[in-house]
A and B are shown apart, each in its own frame.
Chain A
Amino acid sequence: MHPLEVCSASFGYGARPVLHGVSLSVAAGEFVAVVGPNGSGKSTLMRLMAGLERPASGTVRVMGRDIATFSRRRFARHVALLTQGSGVPQAMVARDMVAMGRHCHQGFLNRRSAADDDVIDAALAEMEVADLALRRMGELSGGQVQRMRMAMVLAQGGEVLLLDEPTTFLDLRHQYGLLRRAKRAARDGRAVVAVLHDFTQASIYADRIALMQDGRMVGVGTPAGVLTEAAIHRVFGVRTHGVRIQGAVIHLPVDR
């Protein structure tokens, strides 16, 4: 049993189909990068795996159990998703927002325990935002907001960590910092799935690549096996030249 299993899931918004029989299993300790052109269904797949949408057909299972059978609170203890930046509560103190990650672990009255505080402080430290913890969210820069949101997701914990374009808004240092942290979450035994646009980052950090096109999974495997020049030309319509450096494949556009 894998922590996260998507079995031939289809989904559409109204009459417009978005996903056609997509399957993906992610093992404990594995980092999978989802790549594909805009509109290929990556974010919708993430929403399906996070239980925000129900598949029209097929199933999504977490810890071997159909996610339709979870309550939201119980589900949140297993699966955390870093969404693409939506609205953040401008007036809220940053640490209070990060503390919201602990909500699903708290009882009926939502009393925050000392253990909760330890987890929150650890998450803040890991994302290098501990010094900003008492600022209001509205005072933070885009990159700082993104790191706070990641800290909230880390504080939430769980066996499955989903990251939808997590490196948006971040400078190079924090992009790699976040990806290293995600990689470590996988090493700690979590199943990690991240939507990434940068092939280099995907091929360095991911154990496997899931390549999507027009709502279908068109390739799942090792970075070198999936991100070939032929596949990139077929899916993205761009001719590239792959260069191998220290085990990673970097794709340079041919018609520069």
Chain B
Amino acid sequence: MRLGVLVVLLAVLALIQVAFGALWIPPARVLEALTGPPRDFTDTIILQQRLPRVAVACTVGAALAVAGLVLQKVMQNVLVSPSTLGINAGATVAVVLAMFFGMSGGTLLFPALIGGTAAMGATLLASRLIAGQGDRRLDLVLAGSMIGILCSSVSTFVISLDPDLFGDLMGWLVGDIGNFDYLALPVVLPVVAVALAIALILCPQLDLLTTGEDQARLLGVNTALLQGLALALAVLLAVAAVVVVGPIGFIGLVVPHLVKLAMGETGRATLVAVALTGPCLLMLADILARVALAPRVLHVGTVMGLSGGAIFLVMVLALVRRGRA
């Protein structure tokens, strides 16, 4: 039932997203273009510019949100996500470097994968090193932000070396789903689809981890294998999103949290809801970005950064307060 509501919401937001833009296209006209043969310039805009935008929002939103959910399940930590663990920033620096050396399109997925994996590895290692008497969960996020800052600095430095690259990358770096990499989408879309299917299959086993690692093993889970597989899956989903639209933060953090409030923490329905809510939130942010300061256009990354940052602060506060009580 709730999933049905989400599907309707997603369809409505997609329609609005297609309608909005430099040229306002009435929703009725959009439906016409979708059902009939292409006739004029408006149809071209809808089919070649606005619809791909919806496809991007769906792919990226679902990928980032599910990546966040999987990370949170594996690490049993509500504060982890592709952005707070530094995975996004790691993939970004790798993509920037690859583009500096002339790579483009779908092949960027490989350097992104290496960058994202390396950044997460570095975060896990750093969190071990700084582990003190305090909350393990906060150590991990602290290490993630350090690695994130490190990666961002390198990205900025590399971009500053090449003025042309700066022009190409500006929209991508601030996370703009209107300014995505067309060539990457046909590669990324099937990769994301397969990864989401695997996440759906692994979901019940990931749920068993909520009982604790030992208990999960007793119930028949090969925990080491599952954790490795799930981490790889989350990194793949996150970096696939980065390759298309650049680093958009907080989708992976906020969406699982919102969905858990409404649907509980476990079960395949929760995962599907997360995969549907990610695109909804991203489209909402995109629409907001274009309406908020019109005619000036904000970027989705900016809107997500502002709202996500605030929500993250509230979550940390809640966690710290509960820890003290």
A222 CB to nearest B CB, Å: 30
Residues of chain A in range 16-52 having any CB-CB distance to chain B below 8 Å: 50-52
Assess whether B190 is interfacial by the CB under 8 Å rule.
Answer: no
Q: Interface digits, B175-217 against A, CB 8 Å rule (1 contact, 0 not)?
A: 0000000000000000000000000010011011011101101
Q: What is the 8 Å Cβ interface bit string for chain B, positions 209-228, against chain A (1 contact, 0 not)?
A: 01110110111111100000
- With A86-B215, A88-B211, A108-B201 given, is the CB distance from A75 to B220 under 8 Å? yes
Residue of A50, A71, A93, A100 near B208 (CB, 8 A) is A100
Asked if A73 and B218 make an inter-chain contact with CB atoms under 8 angstroms apart, the answer reads no
Say yes or no: A76 contacts B220, CB within 8 Å.
Answer: yes
Determine whether the beta carbon of A72 is less than 8 Å from that of B214: no
- Among B49-57, B129-137, B140-148, B259-267, the stretch that binds chain A is B259-267
Q: From residue A212, how far is it (CB to closest CB) to chain B in Å?
A: 21
Q: Which of chain B's residues 266-283 have a Cβ closer than 8 Å to chain A?
A: 266-267
Contact of A91 among B211, B217, B223, B264 (CB under 8 A): B264
Indicate whether A247 reaches chain B with its CB closer than 8 angstroms. Answer: no
B26-66 near A? 1/0 per residue, CB < 8 Å: 00000000000000000000000000000000000000000
**A198 sits at the interface (CB 8 A):** no
A101 at the interface (CB under 8 A from B): yes
Fill in one digit per residue for A77-105: 1 if any B CB lies within 8 Å of its CB, else 0. 10011010011110111001100110110
What are the residues of chain A within 8 A of B218 when measuring CB–CB? Answer: 50, 52, 76, 80-81, 83
User: Which single member of B201, B212, B221, B223 contacts A103 (CB below 8 Å)?
Assistant: B221
A104 surroundings in chain B (CB, below 8 A): 219-220
Q: Is A246 engaged at the interface, CB distance under 8 Å to the other chain?
A: no
> Hey, which chain A residues are within 8 Å of B205, CB to CB?
103, 110
Given contacts A89-B266, A91-B265, A92-B265, contact A101 B214 (CB under 8 A): no
B206 → A minimal CB distance (Å): 11
Interface status of A156 (Cβ within 8 A of chain B): yes
Whether A172 is near chain B, meaning CB under 8 Å from some CB there, is no
Taking CB atoms and an 8 Å cut-off, the chain A residues in 159-183 that contact chain B are none
Name the residue in A52, A72, A83, A97 with the highest tally of chain B Cβ atoms < 10 Å from its Cβ: A72
Q: Do residues B212 and A86 form an inter-chain contact, with CB atoms below 8 A?
A: yes
Count of interface residues, chain A, beta-carbon cutoff 8 Å: 30
Shortest Cβ distance from residue A50 to the other chain B in the assembled complex, whole angstroms? 6
User: Is A71's CB under 8 angstroms from B219's CB?
Assistant: no
User: Considering the chains assembled together, what is the distance between the CA atoms of A76 and B210 in angstroms?
Assistant: 17
Count of interface residues, chain B, beta-carbon cutoff 8 Å: 22
Q: In the complex, which residue of chain B has the Cβ closest to the Cβ of A111? A: B204
Closest Cβ of chain A: how far from B205's Cβ, in Å?
7
Q: Which residues on B sit within 8 Å (CB–CB) of A254?
A: none
Write the chain A residue with the least CB distance to B221: A72
B201 to A73, Cβ gap below 8 A?
no
Contact A96 B266 (CB under 8 A): yes
Query: Are A73's CB and B222's CB within 8 A?
Result: yes
Query: Are the C-beta atoms of B219 and A103 separated by less than 8 Å?
Result: yes
Contacts of A109 in B (CB 8 A): 201
Cβ B220 vs Cβ A97 within 8 A:
no
Most buried by B among A73, A109, A110: A110
Give the Cβ gap from A215 to chain B, nearest Cβ, in Å: 21
Query: Which residues of A lie under 8 Å from residue B266 when comparing CB positions?
Result: 89, 91-92, 96
Task: Report B-chain residues with C-beta under 8 Å of the C-beta of A88.
Answer: 211
**A contact residues around B221 at 8 Å (CB):** 72-73, 103
Residue of chain A at shortest CB distance from B265: A91
B325 to chain A, nearest CB (A): 14
Closest residue of B by beta carbon distance from A50: B218
Tell me the smallest distance from the CB of A151 to a CB of chain B, in Å: 13
Q: Which residues of B contact A72 (CB under 8 A)?
A: 217, 220-223
Of residues B204, B220, B221, B264, which shows the largest number of chain A Cβ atoms within 10 Å of its Cβ? B220
B198 CB, min distance to chain A CBs, angstroms: 12
Instruction: Specify which chain A residues have a CB less than 8 angstroms from the CB of B208 in the assembled complex.
Output: 100, 103
CB distance from B306 to the nearest CB of A (A): 29
Nearest CB on B from A55, distance (A): 17
How far is the CB of A194 from the nearest CB of chain B, in Å?
16
A residues near B267, Cβ cutoff 8 Å: 96
Report the separation of the CA atoms of residues A184 and B11 in the bound assembly, to the nearest whole angstrom: 56
Task: List B residues 113-162 near A (Cβ within 8 Å).
Answer: none
Q: Give chain B residues whose Cβ lies under 8 Å from the Cβ of A50.
A: 218
In the complex, what residues of B have CB within 8 A of residue A73's CB? 220-222
Please give the residue numbers on chain B whose beta carbons come within 8 Å of chain A beta carbons, in ascending order: 201, 204-205, 207-208, 210-212, 214-215, 217-223, 260, 264-267
Instruction: Please list 19 pairs of residues, one from A and one from B, whose beta carbons are closer than 8 Å in the complex, sorted by A's number.
Output: A52-B214, A73-B220, A73-B222, A76-B219, A83-B214, A86-B212, A88-B211, A89-B210, A89-B266, A91-B265, A92-B264, A97-B211, A103-B204, A103-B205, A104-B219, A104-B220, A108-B201, A109-B201, A110-B205
Q: Residues of A at under 8 Å CB distance from B? A: 50-52, 71-77, 80-81, 83, 86-89, 91-93, 96-97, 100-101, 103-104, 108-110, 156
Question: Sorted from nearest, which 4 A-B pairs have the closest CB atoms?
Answer: A76-B220, A104-B220, A89-B210, A110-B204
* Known A103-B208, A104-B220; further 7 A-B contacts with Cβ < 8 A: A89-B266, A93-B264, A97-B211, A103-B205, A103-B220, A103-B221, A108-B201
